[in-house]
Chain A
Amino acid sequence: MKKILTLFSLLLFHYSAIAQSFNYGSITQEDINFDKNKIDSNANAVVLKEFGTARLQIDDATGSLVLMFDYHVKIKIFNKDGFEQANVIIPTYKDDIKQEFVQEIKATTYNYINGNLQESLMDKKAIFTENRSKYNSLTKFTLPNIKEGSIIEYSYHIQSPLIFNFRQWEFQSNIPKVISEYVAFIPGNYNYNVLLRGFYKLSDQKSEINKECLRINGVNIDCSKMTYIMKNVPAFIEEDYMTAASNFKSAMYFELSDVQMLNGSKQNITKEWKNVDNELVSERRLGSQMKRKDLFKDLMPTILTNTTDDLSKAKAVYNYIRKQIKWNNYYGKFSEESVKTALDTRSGNVADINLSLIAALSAANLDAEAVILSTRDNGTVNKLYPVISEFNYLVAKVNIGDKSYLLDATEPLITFGLLPLRCINDQGRVINLKKPSYWIDLKAAQRSVTSYMLTGKLTADGKIRGLLTTTTSGYAAFNKRREIKKYNSIDEYVEKLDESLPKLSIKKHEISKIDSVDLALIESYEVEFAVHDGTNKEQLFLNPFFINRISKNPFNLNERTYPVDLGASSDERIIINITLPEKYTLQDKPKDMAMALPQAGGRYLLQSSVTDNVLSLSQILQFNKAIYTSEEYLYLKEFYSKIIQNQKTDLVLKSTN
Chain B
Amino acid sequence: MRLFPFFILFSLCFSVCIAQDNYDAELIPSALRNRANATIRNEETVVDMRSPNNVMYTVKQAITVLNKNGDENARLVLFYDKNISIKSIKGEVYNEVGKLVNKFSQSDFKDESAVQGFSLFEDNRVKHFLPSVNTYPYTIVYNYEIRYKQNLIIPDWVPKPASDVSVEKSSYTFICKPSDQFRIKTQSLTTSVDEKVDDKQKVLVWKVNHLLGVKPEPYSPLKETYQTYVKIAPQQFSYFNYKGSYANWQELGKWYYDNLLKDRNNLPPATIEVIKDLIKNEKTDKDKARKIYQYLQDKTRYISIQVGIGGFQPFTAADVDRLGYGDCKALVNYMQSLLNVAGIESYYCVVKSGSEKKSLDPTYASMNQGNHIILCMPLKGDTTWLECTSQKIPFGFLSDFTDDRYVLACTSEGGKLLKTPTYSMQNNLQVRNANLVIDNNGSVNGTVKTIFSGTQYDNHEEIVGKPLTEQQKLLKEDYNIDNINFDKIAYLQHKDANPKITENLSLNIRNYCAINNNRMFIVVNAFNVIATIPEVRNRTMPVYLNRGYTDIDTIVYTIPETVIGIIEPIHKNIKSEFGSYASSAVLDGNKLTYYRKIELNEGTFPAESYEKFSRFITDINVADNLKLIFSLKK
The residues of A with any CB-CB pair to B shorter than 8 Å are: 41-44, 79-81, 83-84, 87, 89, 120, 123, 126, 128, 130-134, 138, 140, 142, 144-147, 323, 325-326, 328, 345-347, 485-488, 495-496, 498-503, 541, 543, 551-553, 556-558, 588-591, 640-641, 644-646, 648-650, 652
Q: Which of B324, B485, B511 contacts A558 (CB 8 A)?
A: B485
Does B476 belong to the interface (CB within 8 Å)? Answer: yes
B534 touches A502 (CB 8 A): yes
For residue B391, which residue of chain A has the nearest CB? A80
Does B67 belong to the interface (CB within 8 Å)? Answer: yes
CB contacts (< 8 Å) of B582 on chain A: these are none
Whether A556 touches B298, Cβ cut-off 8 Å, given contacts A140-B120, A326-B133, A346-B132, is no
A590 to B68, CA, bound (A): 46
Does B210 belong to the interface (CB within 8 Å)? Answer: no
| Contact bitstring B124-136, A, C-beta under 8 A = 1, else 0 | 0100000011100
Whether A502 touches B132, Cβ cut-off 8 Å, given contacts A79-B465, A557-B476, is no
- Top 10 A-B pairs, shortest CB-CB distance: A347-B132, A42-B467, A326-B134, A145-B324, A648-B514, A649-B516, A499-B534, A144-B323, A553-B482, A502-B618
Whether A648 touches B627, Cβ cut-off 8 Å, given contacts A144-B322, A146-B301, is yes
Does B473 belong to the interface (CB within 8 Å)? Answer: yes
Q: Which of B66, B121, B323, B470 contacts A145 (CB 8 A)?
A: B323
B483 touches A553 (CB 8 A): yes
CB contacts (< 8 Å) of B535 on chain A: these are 498-499, 502
For residue A127, which residue of chain B has the nearest CB? B120
A347 to B536, CA, bound (A): 39
B482 touches A133 (CB 8 A): no
Whether A131 touches B325, Cβ cut-off 8 Å, given contacts A498-B535, A499-B536, is no
A145 to B121, CA, bound (A): 20
Taking CB atoms and an 8 Å cut-off, the chain B residues in 469-521 that contact chain A are 469-470, 472-473, 476, 480, 482-485, 510-511, 514-519, 521
Does B622 belong to the interface (CB within 8 Å)? Answer: yes
* New contact pairs (16) apart from A123-B323, A502-B615, CB-CB < 8 Å: A42-B468, A43-B467, A83-B301, A87-B118, A87-B303, A146-B324, A487-B69, A488-B66, A500-B534, A502-B617, A558-B485, A590-B516, A640-B482, A645-B482, A645-B511, A649-B519
Q: Which of A44, A84, A126, A646 contacts B120 (CB 8 A)?
A: A126
A486 touches B470 (CB 8 A): no
A147 to B514, CA, bound (A): 50
Does B112 belong to the interface (CB within 8 Å)? Answer: yes
Query: Which size class do B's interface residues fall under?
Result: 35 or more
Query: Separation in Å of the A353 CB from the closest CB of chain B?
Result: 11
Does B392 belong to the interface (CB within 8 Å)? Answer: yes
A140 touches B118 (CB 8 A): yes
Whether A503 touches B324, Cβ cut-off 8 Å, given contacts A557-B476, A648-B514, is no
Query: Separation in Å of the B512 CB from the closest CB of chain A?
Result: 9
B112 touches A133 (CB 8 A): yes
A368 to B524, CA, bound (A): 61
Does B251 belong to the interface (CB within 8 Å)? Answer: no
Whether A132 touches B112, Cβ cut-off 8 Å, given contacts A87-B303, A488-B67, A648-B521, is yes
A588 touches B482 (CB 8 A): no
Query: Separation in Å of the A553 CB from the closest CB of chain B?
Result: 4
Query: Separation in Å of the B95 CB from the closest CB of chain A?
Result: 11
Q: Show 21 residue pairs from A and B whose CB-CB distance is below 8 angstroms, ordered by the A residue.
A: A41-B468, A42-B470, A43-B467, A87-B303, A128-B120, A128-B121, A145-B324, A147-B298, A147-B299, A326-B134, A345-B102, A345-B132, A346-B132, A485-B69, A499-B534, A501-B532, A502-B533, A552-B482, A645-B511, A648-B514, A649-B519
A569 to B469, CA, bound (A): 31
Query: Separation in Å of the A357 CB from the closest CB of chain B?
Result: 15
CB contacts (< 8 Å) of A84 on chain B: these are 118
For residue B69, which residue of chain A has the nearest CB? A486
A84 to B113, CA, bound (A): 22
Query: Separation in Å of the A414 CB from the closest CB of chain B?
Result: 15
A495 to B215, CA, bound (A): 11
For residue B36, which residue of chain A has the nearest CB? A488
Does B523 belong to the interface (CB within 8 Å)? Answer: yes
| Contact bitstring B539-574, A, C-beta under 8 A = 1, else 0 | 000000000000000000000000000000000000
Taking CB atoms and an 8 Å cut-off, the chain B residues in 613-634 that contact chain A are 614-615, 617-618, 621-622, 627, 629
B37 touches A488 (CB 8 A): yes
B482 touches A644 (CB 8 A): yes
CB contacts (< 8 Å) of A650 on chain B: these are 521, 627, 629
CB contacts (< 8 Å) of B467 on chain A: these are 41-44
A495 touches B537 (CB 8 A): yes
CB contacts (< 8 Å) of B617 on chain A: these are 502
Taking CB atoms and an 8 Å cut-off, the chain B residues in 442-471 that contact chain A are 465-470
Q: Which of A130, A146, A552, A648 contacts B325 (CB 8 A)?
A: A146
Q: Which of B115, B392, B482, B622 contacts A641 (CB 8 A)?
A: B482
Does B168 belong to the interface (CB within 8 Å)? Answer: no
A509 to B326, CA, bound (A): 57
A213 to B615, CA, bound (A): 79
For residue B467, which residue of chain A has the nearest CB? A42
CB contacts (< 8 Å) of B325 on chain A: these are 142, 144, 146
Query: Separation in Å of the B227 CB from the closest CB of chain A?
Result: 22
A42 touches B469 (CB 8 A): yes
For residue A322, which residue of chain B has the nearest CB? B134
CB contacts (< 8 Å) of A640 on chain B: these are 482
For residue A640, which residue of chain B has the nearest CB? B482
CB contacts (< 8 Å) of B519 on chain A: these are 588, 649, 652
Whether A645 touches B112, Cβ cut-off 8 Å, given contacts A80-B391, A326-B133, A346-B134, is no
CB contacts (< 8 Å) of A552 on chain B: these are 480, 482
Whether A126 touches B323, Cβ cut-off 8 Å, given contacts A42-B469, A553-B483, is yes
Taking CB atoms and an 8 Å cut-off, the chain B residues in 104-149 that contact chain A are 110-113, 115, 118-122, 125, 132-134
Query: Separation in Å of the A491 CB from the closest CB of chain B?
Result: 12
| Contact bitstring B594-621, A, C-beta under 8 A = 1, else 0 | 0000000000000000000011011001
Whether A541 touches B629, Cβ cut-off 8 Å, given contacts A130-B115, A503-B622, is yes
Query: Separation in Å of the B75 CB from the closest CB of chain A?
Result: 12
Query: Separation in Å of the B514 CB from the closest CB of chain A?
Result: 4
CB contacts (< 8 Å) of B629 on chain A: these are 541, 650
